[in-house]
Structure 1
Amino acid sequence: MPVVTSPVYRGRFAPSPSGALHFGSLVAAVGSYLDARAAGGEWLLRIEDIDAPRSLPGAADAIVRTLAGFGFVWDGEVLVQSRRVDRYHAALVALQLDGDVYPCACSRSEIADSSVAQSVDGGRVYPGTCRSGLAAGRAARAWRMRVLAQEVGFTDRVQGAYAQQLERDVGDFVLLRADGQFAYQLAVVVDDADQGVTAVVRGADLLASTPRQIWLQQRLGVPTPTYAHLPVATDVHGQKLSKQSLARPVDCAGGAAVLAEVMAFLGQPVPAALHGAPLSEFWAWAVAHWSMARVPAQQARVAE
């Protein structure tokens, strides 16, 4: 699999266009942007619309406009996943040729009925029903990635040491879904490799996905970036702010004052004088004073 190698820090922000940019997604944007710029590195923008049923018309353009309105400047063209299906297919074929994936006929209800173990994602651990081949009369619904009974771990720059025993905690996971859509796990690994991403800074809601992505990286023979999983923003009831929970969109008209709120959430206090400063002045200060070490080592925090 061809890989872009980068001699410098290369980060990225990769929102899904399932709605407008909200405070929680702005946290990931600010954290990834400042970490890249403070390191003198590049910051890429990617639209993760591989899950077509969840993508809303016009949402991607609205996200790009909002980021530009807040003064974000990205390097290169915006990468759009829905235009890269051939790359994901090529990666799947490579895994098929290596025997790392297999066809699966199981439905969700069948897995729920046959598995007693709960996965780290809250679903059920796949019990390996189709690992040795499809039963007579059964047709493939999806393609699954084989995992082993071994620990896959890493040291997160915010959350610290994290590991999973994939066979026990997740089971063989889907790369091509029954509806014909490529899974996020495959798309994100291929994209990060193709773009030469060296550092991933994103929300802690994706922490549990990382061992699967590292396993995929190893099987595809591509580099593993560093990871920093920022606290997820929640409401006072502990519910994650998201498009699905109808989180209020952020308004770039709020300028530096909104960005200062995000910085405070990330443990980076901003002088009061900068809350009303021009965006260029705000960003110059923020880049110069960014510290990942000050980000709270929590998986979730209430957004005040």
Structure 2
Amino acid sequence: MPQRRAITGRSQEPRARFAEELRLLRHRRGVSLRGVAEVVGWDASQFGKMENGHTLGGPEIVEALDQYYGTGGMLLTLWELAVADPTQFKERYRHYMVLEAEAVSMWHHANSNLPGVLQTPEYAAELLKEGGLAGPELDTQVAARMGRRELLLAPDGPQFRTILSEAVLRSPLRDPGEWRAQLRHLSEMGERANVIIQVLPWAAGLHGLTNTDTMFLRGPGGRTVAWVETGYSGELVQETTPVERLQLRYDRVRDLALSPEESRQFIVGMLEEASCESST
């Protein structure tokens, strides 16, 4: 069968297609970037960066553009495809991102940072800044990380469990208000039927995953792989025996963690503490 050719001649790459549609819509309207900014309300330079593919922007600005151009949600759909595209991530993460998008269940352990699927935009931005990102690249990576959150919010989203070291919850954002928002988001996500959050208290002591953040992904065919990450690098573990060894360590860590209900109370208590501290 001959390869299907593109009918429109437009880009088939999600990020490029999104930027292309933005340019075409504005040119058809016959307005300048400043003209769009005056009506929609964001800075003209932001729209320029989006049209040049330097940043994807956020869902609020895209929804506003959908209303302005009367495109009935088309731009938001293209934006969602762009932020979910594995090519938005560095090369070493791309294979993992494909597997994550296809996973039917995910279980995770964190020593230092919240998993991307549970982060607020502010948490993601501060963490990525500390990793050296800035400007358009930072905006793009934050938007891409927010796109990953949709995995858990979908009606048929995968089952997800995370075991968070107490150290993760004792490492607040610099802005107290943003940290409270992150804790509230964590508490709300823990109430979803497909999300289980457990806290591993400091009192649990040493364990088999002390220096490792780990994510296990079970695919639709039943195969499980693991992503193991330190502060400087990550590795996709696919061989059966190493994955099973990691799973055994994970099970032992889970035995040391607080129950989901105890963990929920722990997080609520931290939120109350953070609220009290901000009022003093």
TM-score range, shorter chain: under 0.3
Larger Rg: 2
TM-score, normalized by length of structure 2?
Answer: 0.27
Between 1 and 2, higher relative CO (CA 8 Å, sep ≥ 6) is seen in 1
Which structure shows the higher strand fraction?
1
